[in-house]
Structure 1
């Protein structure tokens, strides 16, 4: 069996976006992993692997993985796959859209994914396996931990610190210099103006309709 070079873990919506980006960058994708075969056009020409065990048939020294599992609050499969395959010696590829703007002076960990329209400014540090989703803005000197999801349209002002395994929901805004702990969930549309302790949830204000 030939080594497929790059293997995509998953075949859902997030995986489709990543394969599309890799194709735009003319990076060869060899295979995808999914319990069910998919005929989605974006996966055309890729070898189908039916289980994670099939990945282990390929040498970790010659194979790069792309984590195509998305991240939602309370879901840990993405993190678990990253940790388990890393422990076996596999490397995870960074995936950066050609439509993203990433400063030369930003530092991105293994397996970080930056989707179209995202902006990452100078001095930013992003931990391994974190997703910076479409249109998110990460301003100067922010530090984001491992296994985070910064959802579409998030705006993070300068010098914000975010712990590991944090989900910041679509369209949330974080003002400058605040700190967000580990395993925090910030709801879609929330405006965060104060530090947030670990394991907390932040909900957006709800409008009141007067009758």
Structure 2
């Protein structure tokens, strides 16, 4: 049994993944008291008092990496995973708790994916990549072998990263960017080839 925290657009995708996995969704939690249901599942502000924290798992369905990290630090429960059946995962890859892997994602041999990561539709994580906690790899982004993506970093839609690149923590890679050099912590990089335009301070 799984509860989802957050009742926005990201939660819709996670719901359908869990349905495809035939996992039981107990309901959703959201601070917005005006949201009563999502895709037919009840939304409330609290887990029912009769539910023990050992009886269920949770997935945080919030797209913003920094908020997802904050909530994961606040909510002390067991976390599940949502992995779309069409994802192609190497049996030698490692996937952390709370992570969501969407349709047509590929994760290749010896890749390590951390906790509460989002691997979005059709992205590619090649061999020996390391994706640290709370990162988000957007749809159609491609990471070549031995790429490292730091905590909370966001790789934008359609971005391409060559092999052996390190993307720093809480960095942002713009949509369609081509990354051929290491990216420092907190840097915002856009273009082809990618150039730093500012920092996320």
Asked if the contact 2:105–2:124 (Cα under 8 Å) also holds between the matched residues in 1, the reply is yes
Q: Is residue 91 of structure 2 the alignment partner of residue 99 of structure 1? A: no
Match in the other structure for 2:61: 68
- 1:80 paired to 2:70: yes
Aligned in 2, Cα 1:163/1:56: closer, same or farther, shift over 3 Å? farther
Retained in 2: the 8 A contact 1:124–1:138? yes
| 1:8-60 deviations in Å (ceiling 9; x for gaps) | 111111100000111111111011113222554x3x1x3321x2xx1373321
Kindly report the root-mean-square deviation, in angstroms, between the aligned alpha carbons of the 2 structures. 1.6
How many residues are treated as equivalent by the alignment? 190
The reply to whether residue 55 of structure 1 matches residue 47 of structure 2 is yes
Please state how far the C-alpha of 1:205 moved relative to its aligned partner.
Answer: 4.0
Larger radius of gyration: 1
Displacement of 1:69 in angstroms is 1.1
Shift of 1:83: 1.5
- Separation in 2, partners of 1:201, 1:56: 42
Question: Which residue number corresponds to residue 7 of structure 1?
Answer: 3
Shift of 1:132: 0.3
1:9, 1:67 within 8 Å by CA — same for their partners in 2?
yes
Unaligned runs of 5+ in 1: 207-211
d(CA) in 1 for partners of 2:94 and 2:19? Answer: 24
Partner of residue 114 from structure 2, selected from 99, 122, 127 = 127
The TM-score with structure 1 as length reference comes to 0.85
| Conservation of the 8 A alpha-carbon contact between 1:120 and 1:137 | yes
Structure-2 separation of matches of 1:9 and 1:102: 25
Point out 4+ residue stretches in structure 1 off by more than 2 angstroms: 36-40, 55-58
CA contact (8 A) 1:11 1:38 kept: no
Distance 1:105 1:120 in 2: 9
The structure that is strand-richer by fraction is 2
Whole-Å Cα distance in 1 between the matches of residues 102 and 95 of structure 2? Answer: 13
TM-fit CA distance, 1:76: 2.1
TM-score scaled to structure 2, two decimals? 0.89
Point out the more displaced range, 170-179 or 61-70. Answer: 61-70
Q: Which residue in the other structure is 2:176 paired with?
A: 189
